[in-house]
Structure 1
């Protein structure tokens, strides 16, 4: 039983969030709730007061987090109950995913689902005994009272439940004995084919995308990469193992179907309201099956991943592979949509999410005020009244309204507008084709496109006068690693006919410079997770893994050895800090006495898991730092084996790890190009090496006038080639390309046709 004194409002216990740097925590600094941060002193306070803890976890751009705050946390009566009976703790899940992950696992296990805001009641010893997400105001008030009564009347039961939860989580997530087996035992179960079959079942052939219910799904739909587009790209280009298919024809059918499903989804995103037609970028997800009604928050990680994935499918959509003129035209159109979407996302990200220092901010909120002094509502910045469109566009409004499906009474169905905030308003999406629009108004298709494009420019000028949604201006290392990959890939893939293409390489270098100067402590060899008005918490596994991948992509784009060497150094630190010596794989965070379960981040979600990215990094580093090939190869294998049962039983949840297995099965190769950066043939060979979608490939460059001497000490092939240049002065006068596979480098070619043959382009 808690003492009566502990049920009194504690003098001096106030809301301390004004001292925080987290944008999410700062959103709650004026709540009457006496919010505390998750810290040793807060936990000590809960133990001293002998009170249960109410932990609320969310993030800055979370719409339903705002709703819960407005309804309950801003209510003085509810705050009084919270302050009287609980120690109330706010957690920014993006800064402390280690804390969030433990309690989210409990929530998912007990409710079958999860999400934010996450609401957890726990003992002063941090052991949870009740969990939920968003609660309407009246229900939340009743819940607070019931939880307090339960704590008063049956505290032992609460504590027993909490201890049991922690023990169960430890059994589920902790280290077991070393897992035995081989990769072949995983591969023989055909995880790639299983993903294909599952995606085929979940595919919506009408509108594209994947959701429970497939063609009967009513949403939501996500612009998912690690669990959908990444596996589909492999399936579209890599033949499956013989035991998974009956003949070459089956492989071809799987490849065609995979491309078709991916492009249907990409097209749905491009044409839908989930894409911001006026200002660029994509929203977090679509609440409906048609991609029309977005959940309006814009996350950096969605922009970054989708850029990378659509650029992959631009390479896969090669008109040269077409069998007839009709299919060539369709494939060319697919490629253009991929490039257009990548450029759209890049323009938005570089304009609205990039900090002056070179890093990228985290997100833009879903909510804003429709006018000065008005209450904030979801999507207010993005939705339109038909009358306002007509006022802005004049005569062009007829064409734009027809194309975008604008209606006098609004085009948002009430079922997709939970709070009636979009009544009478319109979301812009492609309701009609350009050809239909042109035909209706007696114009050419090119003219119709011109009117729509000009209309978007004018609407943006008007929209820019509105109150912008809130900006989460913290810079996360992990998410900047994802953007570093996107920018590096765009620098080598996006045609220069897109103006934004010229900015990508410099932007990528700026990201790397920012992270190294602000987020990396070279003396201690540790990363910082976040930056906002200074350094935030220390880095976690995904910070290391995502940044390593970004640096390897930047190395391939530039040939600069310092990027590769920093990636290798970061991998060593990741191994030192997070490797599980007993069970294999990587823990998600470093040990922390106040995080009761040290879990592993293995399952893909909105972002790829740290483990899935790590296995790719290890495979690439085994080629680049070839002197340690055996170490990297063994570590990658042990990581796969640490999730072997999951890969066999539910491969789609580990989709990006399965992609790594498919790359391994195909076999990795290293392309080494020797030549001066100013030699047109060097550029030509680089372009040929990047022409096809080849995720199982690493490209290294050797400039004879400035060879990568430090990298050469870690790569015998590069060292030998540099040595050959010094011995034979004439050998460096011609650009050449060679392919190294299985530890053996083939003979070089210095002619275009020979290079094409080496690369399998003819």
Structure 2
């Protein structure tokens, strides 16, 4: 259903969307709008009736999508205008990113901005001629009527405009590759300087409100820039600054209202500059990327640094949240939780943040004598702590978004308690609030479709967390098991073993065909999962998926990867290398190729040729606007420095545990970790890895010799050093890597 209750909706006849599997489309199944799904039926209807198409694109957790739906799509008068003059198509952007990408490019080119809900008017031939985002009800009706008038009076003009736009987009997407690749070092310095200039030294983050975490463009890049430049005296100062900007940003996010203090997990973004008032939707891709960044950055800090502990607490918070609230019984991870919910079980109107916010009186009633210390610590005010300028619809009036306003030390001192007593008080109070919230407040809508690409990002984060987090973080389930369960779900439900092809989504069955990001993000996740688990099957699957991605998405004429699979109804097949809320599939594929050229080193030349093709395709953007390709630049920078194979021989886990812990305790971004179990050697992986073949042959011919002892060896440029069997020497070797 839509965000707010609509009188009489129970009696309303359902439209075509009632048969959809998409949670977003199902929210519109009882609209009076005669919706179609994207497909041939809608296109034929538009041509048959000579009507333009109104295309509405959004996603189930999108707050302003819900507002538009309530104001206009649930309104009988507006729906009548839409049904009379248009063929109306509703698209879930998360299931059809190819549709979204094409028309979002048009929207951004014609208006200078973008976002969701996206509203686009098309000719029956699918050429766009007008676009916008959210329209208030009155304005939306005016636009509908005016464009219908323009179409009726001069359809040829609309058709000509639309055709011209598509030709321009097609030409813009066919930029010839360049054999001259700009300096990656210069590009990385340019990105660093830009982030340094935009850094908010008071609140963390980059730029002003609204503030998005955007790990792929900020903390992901800065962690790698810092790690690679820390040992060089000429760049150490910048490296430390890069690390500190990223760490401070993550700590501010953790301590801000963007974190769900009571239940864990992080909201999409904050509407203010200090990470306080969130846009309350929670997205799986944010959780996965923040988890990876928290783990990586924690390893750049000294073991006794308080920020290191905070970042690992942040990681544990995410793992606990997704395991409890976003995990399907079969192991896959759901996509999102909505921003809006009913304030109570007898409410009829949903409000943004209703599940998460508190009045001071509610806290007094629930916490009793503990309330004052709790309110002080979490910044609660009697009249609410949300600035009205950050509450456009007035839904947060008198409410408090909890955030860490004071440190445990400050709270302990204020109320004359020890730090330990204060910690127990706060922990107990949060448990009481969670129990009350779970029992008395309806949860926000859950988008329970399972996306391959976002599960790939979460598999990466969980794999990295499993290498670092120990028992002291009280995780409800082991991070590694969660990652393996997600991979198993995808293999069983979204992967065709006979063809090697992925499906994009699962909800009551598999959904549309996989896109480039499904392959790229899953390959990345599987390589991370192999490094964390040592299970050969994940590396082998990643290799096969890369073969299929190359087959389906590689542009044999222009180089680089198309973002979408071939589709006659997608008029321009785009590549879209720029990072956004997620890293671009192109950037992740580039880094996957670099890693695979060391896991499957026999194919090094072929992988490197494609990786270079990616850079050549994007050479123009790399030279003019490298910050738009931050994930690609960081990968290319690591490739220039040179990847290193760390081969750990582990006759048993106990014998190699200290070596693995030493490897895991350092952030070495150019690391390729290969596991060699002499009792069960990775023979299939060795078929594409000459170094492994040689080592396994040594094991086979020296049954009881040195080849079976626990050790670590480092290989660079496919030349390996001697195995090191002393832990102290291993740590020295790692520190110099």
Shift of 1:239: 2.1
> Residues 619-655 of structure 1, C-alpha deviation per residue, up to 9 Å, x if partnerless?
0000011110100111111111111111121111111
SS in 2 for 1:759: helix
Maintained 8 Å contact 2:459/2:483: yes
Shift of 1:248: 4.9
> What is aligned with 2:444?
469
> What is aligned with 1:152?
152
Shift of 1:236: 1.5
> What is aligned with 1:167?
167
Shift of 1:14: 7.5
> Residues 522-543 of structure 1, C-alpha deviation per residue, up to 9 Å, x if partnerless?
1122100000000100100000
SS in 1 for 2:61: coil
> Residues 692-740 of structure 1, C-alpha deviation per residue, up to 9 Å, x if partnerless?
1111111111111100111111100000100011111123441111111
* Structure 2 unaligned blocks of 5 or more: 1-12
> Residues 196-215 of structure 1, C-alpha deviation per residue, up to 9 Å, x if partnerless?
1111111111111112xxxx
Instruction: Name whichever of 403-412 and 273-282 sits farther off.
Output: 403-412
Shift of 1:178: 4.2
Distance of 1:289 and 1:691 partners within structure 2:
33
Shift of 1:661: 1.3
Distance of 2:225 and 2:302 partners within structure 1:
16
Maintained 8 Å contact 1:588/1:598: yes
SS in 2 for 1:464: helix
Maintained 8 Å contact 1:738/1:758: no
Instruction: Name whichever of 100-109 and 256-265 sits farther off.
Output: 256-265
Shift of 1:504: 1.0
Shift of 1:342: 0.3
1:446 corresponds, among 401, 406, 420, to 420
> What is aligned with 2:119?
119
Distance of 2:709 and 2:536 partners within structure 1:
22
TM-score by length of 2: 0.96
Distance of 2:543 and 2:410 partners within structure 1:
54
Instruction: Name whichever of 84-93 and 664-673 sits farther off.
Output: 664-673
> What is aligned with 1:370?
343
Distance of 1:63 and 1:169 partners within structure 2:
30
> What is aligned with 1:312?
296
> What is aligned with 1:265?
249
Distance of 2:567 and 2:279 partners within structure 1:
35
> What is aligned with 1:488?
463
Please say if 1:359 is aligned against 2:332.
Answer: yes
Shift of 1:681: 3.2
Change over 3 Å in CA distance of 1:155–1:117 after alignment to 2: same
Shift of 1:405: 1.7
Maintained 8 Å contact 1:179/1:583: no
Please say if 1:220 is aligned against 2:210.
Answer: yes
Please say if 1:599 is aligned against 2:586.
Answer: no
Shift of 1:161: 0.9
Please say if 1:565 is aligned against 2:565.
Answer: no
Structure 2 counterparts to residues 509-524 of structure 1, below 5 A = 509-524=484-499
Shift of 1:397: 0.5
Shift of 1:143: 0.7
Please say if 1:229 is aligned against 2:202.
Answer: no
Distance of 2:733 and 2:477 partners within structure 1:
30
> What is aligned with 2:286?
302
Maintained 8 Å contact 1:227/1:604: yes
Distance of 2:391 and 2:351 partners within structure 1:
11
Maintained 8 Å contact 1:490/1:501: no
Shift of 1:761: 5.2
Shift of 1:501: 7.8
> What is aligned with 1:326?
none
Maintained 8 Å contact 1:556/1:699: yes
Distance of 1:124 and 1:733 partners within structure 2:
68
> Residues 237-284 of structure 1, C-alpha deviation per residue, up to 9 Å, x if partnerless?
2129xxxxxx95441110111122112211111110000000000000
1:342 corresponds, among 276, 301, 315, to 315
> Residues 156-180 of structure 1, C-alpha deviation per residue, up to 9 Å, x if partnerless?
2211110111011101113x44432
> What is aligned with 1:744?
719
* Structure 1 unaligned blocks of 5 or more: 1-12, 212-216, 241-246, 320-328
Distance of 1:369 and 1:33 partners within structure 2:
25
> What is aligned with 1:181?
180
Maintained 8 Å contact 2:56/2:91: yes
Maintained 8 Å contact 1:178/1:582: no
> What is aligned with 2:101?
101
Shift of 1:493: 1.3
SS in 2 for 1:738: strand
> What is aligned with 2:3?
none
Shift of 1:449: 2.3
Shift of 1:28: 0.3
Distance of 1:754 and 1:203 partners within structure 2:
39
Shift of 1:502: 5.5
Instruction: Name whichever of 195-204 and 724-733 sits farther off.
Output: 724-733
Shift of 1:373: 3.2
> Residues 417-448 of structure 1, C-alpha deviation per residue, up to 9 Å, x if partnerless?
11111111111111222222222211223322
Change over 3 Å in CA distance of 1:704–1:362 after alignment to 2: same
Maintained 8 Å contact 1:234/1:659: yes
Structure 2 counterparts to residues 714-733 of structure 1, below 5 A = 714-729=688-703, 730-733=705-708
SS in 2 for 1:526: coil
> What is aligned with 1:80?
80
SS in 2 for 1:276: coil
Maintained 8 Å contact 2:251/2:310: yes
Shift of 1:500: 1.5
Distance of 2:476 and 2:73 partners within structure 1:
45
SS in 1 for 2:660: helix
> Residues 84-143 of structure 1, C-alpha deviation per residue, up to 9 Å, x if partnerless?
000000000000000010000000111111000000001010000000000001100111
> What is aligned with 2:91?
91
Shift of 1:657: 0.3
Distance of 1:285 and 1:520 partners within structure 2:
33
Please say if 1:195 is aligned against 2:207.
Answer: no
Maintained 8 Å contact 2:323/2:476: no
Distance of 2:211 and 2:596 partners within structure 1:
35
> Residues 332-372 of structure 1, C-alpha deviation per residue, up to 9 Å, x if partnerless?
10100110000001100100000000000000000001122
1:650 corresponds, among 618, 622, 625, to 625
1:548 corresponds, among 523, 545, 549, to 523
Distance of 2:139 and 2:586 partners within structure 1:
39
Distance of 1:273 and 1:736 partners within structure 2:
46
> What is aligned with 2:203?
207
Please say if 1:67 is aligned against 2:42.
Answer: no
> What is aligned with 1:387?
361
Maintained 8 Å contact 2:649/2:708: no
Instruction: Name whichever of 280-289 and 380-389 sits farther off.
Output: 380-389
Change over 3 Å in CA distance of 1:745–1:732 after alignment to 2: closer
Maintained 8 Å contact 1:491/1:501: no
Maintained 8 Å contact 1:14/1:35: no
> Residues 495-515 of structure 1, C-alpha deviation per residue, up to 9 Å, x if partnerless?
221121851111111111111
Distance of 1:718 and 1:17 partners within structure 2:
53
> What is aligned with 1:629?
604
Please say if 1:688 is aligned against 2:662.
Answer: yes
> What is aligned with 2:679?
705
TM-score by length of 1: 0.93
SS in 2 for 1:316: coil
> What is aligned with 1:134?
134
Instruction: Name whichever of 501-510 and 54-63 sits farther off.
Output: 501-510
Maintained 8 Å contact 2:320/2:476: no
Maintained 8 Å contact 1:618/1:632: yes
